[in-house]
Chain A
Amino acid sequence: MNTLDLIILGGGPAGYVAALRASQLGKKVAVVEADKLGGVCSNWGCIPSKTLLKTAEFMERCRKADAFGLEISGLKFDYSKVIARSRQSANRMSSGVEYLFKSRGIQWIKAKGKINKDKKIRMTFADGKTEELSAPYILLSTGCKAKTLPFIKVDGKMILTSREALETTRLPKKIIIVGGGAIGVEFAYFYKCMGSEVIIVEMASDILPGTDSEISKALQKSFSKKGITIYCSTVVEKCWNIKEKIHVRLKGAVNETIESEAMLLAIGVSAHLEDILEPDFELQTQNGFIAVDEKYQTSVDGIFAAGDIIGPPLLAHAAFREGWEAIECIFLGKTSTRPHFVPSCVYCQPQVATVGMTEEEVKKANIPYKVAKYPYSANGKAVASGEIEGFVKLLISDPEREILGAHIIGEDASELIGEFSLAKTLESTAEELFLAIHPHPTLSEMIGEVALLAEGKGLHL
């Protein structure tokens, strides 16, 4: 215990990958994590929410059974079982990390950790006991927590954040979702499929702000068709409870008071900062996140940080890489440019998956470009599957044909986007996207087709 090389504070994606990589390099590592291993991703984010969304998708498909010549009647569900399955997935992923730790000899200290000015970690255990721990290197990877509104208290019954929504076994008949980002739209889709009335309130002019606007407009249209109400350019000004109802006063494009039995806050996340720093210890921050240099070192020597706590992209797969890179910086003396060209996926139906620059960003950067859009409706596999909604959009530079950005909305978009990431990493151009033979019939053919189209040689369109 006293010959540790590294202490990691936080066992989420950045922290546990860092621990695994450090153990590969033969380092003695301890991870201080009071909650379960795997972080928000395994326990309260990616995994349990995708489990719920699969149920929703299943339901939606069953409702379309008729179009496939099937008859399904008496479709019912038990919501507590739906939630239970989601918890099972979460537990399974989390215990997977636990198993990996055990097999690699990584020490998990189940305690709350705080760092002080002597660079020591003070650990508080569940029974109130405390203990101090130190090592030559410390990695902070305590991630983020959901933001809340100053005038509403999250009670886990009527007012929820994603964490409570993943746990409560009560399905609201009506829900107001504040925030139309990835988390907001995923829950909107889920609740809508489960039969709730859903209203999304989004401050920006479109849902999924920051996404290529053609894509977010397409999703908005699709959601409206499903019967989800979307109020963009609108904020929650005030809200209050009357008995079992929440009253929400809106301001902006929509100025009215709406009521509902539940409200989900999906307005973003903020860094878990004050909970991990003793009052005598300060770290330089940037926009509310820990500032790090190109070696993931914070403003204090020997203290490093990785994952959501160092700021966007706030995505598990970015954190995985940052954790890995931080260890290579610490123990192998590498430097990093931080992950770039990081894909981002939204798992409602139709799915949204994007990587690289949006068309708006390309225009703003003044890069000469070509753009092409290939619709799912022109793809054989999509037609066979009855999933013809959506398109693949590709932006390439002119004349080099460098891949600038790829944006997909439609069936299995999240499984398709990886090819663009690989192509970009290998510095492939639109030409190689086409030259690589895609199996027929698959959705992946759209990738070759959209590349051809961007070069003005479109075949199947």
Chain B
Amino acid sequence: MKEITMPLLSPSMSEGQIVRWLKKEGDPIQEGEVIAEIETDKAIMDLEAFESGVLKKILLPEGGRAPVNAPIALIEPEAEEAISAPQVQKEAMEGRETSSLTKPVGQLREVTKKEPSQRIKSSPLARKIAQEEGVELSSIQGTGPGGRILKRDVLSSLEQKALEQKEKLPIQKPPGISAAPQPGLSETKIPLSMMREKIAKRLLESKTTIPHFYLETEIFVSSLSRLRNELNLYYSQHEQPWKFTYNDFFLKATVEAVKKVPSVNASWNIDSILKHNIINIALAVALEDGLITPVIKNAQDKSLMTLSKEAKELIQKAQERKLSPEEYMGGTITVSNLGMYGIDNFFAIIDPPQAMILAIGAVVKKPLIDSQNNIIVGEVVRVTASCDHRVIDGATGAKFLKEFKSLLENPLSMLV
């Protein structure tokens, strides 16, 4: 009988939650088959079986959480089955008795703790690097055949350790003011999803450790609106019809403005500032119970059309919670748009280690005074940039926002 353990599905994952078991106890499973859905701090991902056999025992029920590497199920590999079937059945039955559905994860871990004498499968190269770097093999989750630890596993474990070191800020647990039940009120306790917990931790850390300042501007978008209508009219008759959203232009303007004021595309790195040589735009996408920021990579090389298509695809994937870690990591600047909710203006919290987030409101019609002192109907949008003052100074942020505004007010300029 072999253990299936909680896999490491993203570099920042420390524990995972079972969303759904797709197989029941006793079901045969094929190597490569998806047997469960696991929620990490960022996404719901599929758990594939490493080998074929029979799912003998589910140790972690749906909704249960376990740290990476903790056993979550027992599988009987194909070959073993015939020989020891009665024995296994007995084990499984006993297992069922002892593991009630609400068994806390901590205990679980204890029960199935690896015996020290157990051989850890690892490649010679992985062993040498681990020794060189002073890492315990037993602390590493192998991704090779049969859970064998490979070079890449040692390297990603090292990377994660480095990351953890960095993240070890004074705050261990999001403290916050906990809401003690008050007399006369009736509450329903909602357990935290992994995503909710991550949002809480990350944004609290951001808001309490990053010196935010805000720059706000109003942008006249009448020309942009006309250009968008023209483009959409043209593309509606195109053989591959396409419709641009206002947000596509905001993304494009962000890229072009960053090219002009590249110092906003940077990160605070404690003893230095990291200036990013590529522009990866993160888009805040609202989900039913949280939000996620998929990333358009190398946006500096992308046309309006490409940005638009990628944004649409990423948003859809995000809403279906199908993003792979690669697709939501590595953003260098974020654009958050609440225009569709009719919000005129808001102030967003920076997503560390980025140094800027743009908060974009709705495009609204307003009376404006033109150069001849006539009152006209104009279209405007309000945009706020939240900046990390350690990285960006007021004047730099203002310069960026000025470019951003100018691009959107003269929209043809960002298309050439």
Q: A residues near B, CB below 8 A?
A: 328, 332-334, 399-402, 426-429, 431-432
Contact = CB atoms under 8 A, between A and B. Distances in A.
B132 A431 contact: no
Interface stretch (B109-117, B119-127, B193-201, B358-366): B119-127
B125 A328 contact: no
Nearest to A399: B132
Contacts of A431: 124
Interface string B210-247: 00000000000000000000000000000000000000
A432 B132 contact: no
B304 interface: no
Interface string B162-178: 00000000000000000
Contact of B124 (A328, A334, A399, A429): A429
Nearest to A397: B125
Interface string B145-174: 000001100000000000000000000000
Nearest to B149: A427
B70 to A, nearest CB: 25
B129 interface: yes
A418 B237 CA distance: 57
A402 B154 CA distance: 14
> Top 10 A-B pairs ranked by shortest CB distance?
A427-B123, A427-B125, A332-B32, A429-B124, A400-B128, A428-B124, A402-B125, A432-B124, A429-B125, A400-B129
Contacts of B48: 333
Which of B125, B126, B132, B151 is the most central at the interface, judged by chain A CB atoms within 10 Å of its CB? B125
25 contacts: A328-B32, A332-B33, A333-B32, A334-B32, A399-B132, A400-B129, A400-B132, A401-B125, A401-B128, A402-B125, A402-B151, A426-B123, A426-B124, A427-B123, A427-B125, A427-B126, A427-B150, A428-B123, A428-B124, A428-B125, A429-B124, A429-B125, A429-B128, A431-B124, A432-B124
B34 interface: yes
Contacts of A334: 32
Nearest to A403: B125
Contacts of A333: 32, 34, 46, 48
A448 to B, nearest CB: 15
Contacts, number: 33
Contacts of A328: 32
Contacts of A400: 125, 128-129, 132
A399 B131 CA distance: 11
Interface of B: 32-34, 46, 48, 123-126, 128-129, 132, 150-151
Given A399-B132, A400-B129, A432-B124, A427 B151 contact: yes
Nearest to A428: B124
Contacts of B125: 400-402, 427-429
A208 B303 CA distance: 40
Nearest to B128: A400
A332 B48 CA distance: 10
Contacts of A399: 132
Contacts of A426: 123-124
Contacts of B128: 400-401, 429
A52 B98 CA distance: 70
A399 B133 CA distance: 12
A427 B150 CA distance: 7
B123 to A, nearest CB: 3
A321 to B, nearest CB: 16
A428 B32 CA distance: 26
A334 B125 CA distance: 25
Given A328-B32, A402-B151, A427 B124 contact: yes
B178 to A, nearest CB: 43
Contacts of A332: 32-33
Contacts of A428: 123-125
Contacts of A429: 124-125, 128
A385 B119 CA distance: 44
Q: Which of B32, B46, B124, B132 has the most CB of A within 10 A?
A: B124
A438 B34 CA distance: 42
Contacts of B34: 333
Given A333-B32, A400-B128, A428-B125, 6 more contacts: A402-B151, A428-B123, A428-B124, A429-B124, A429-B128, A431-B124
A116 B126 CA distance: 48
A332 B49 CA distance: 11
A378 B128 CA distance: 31
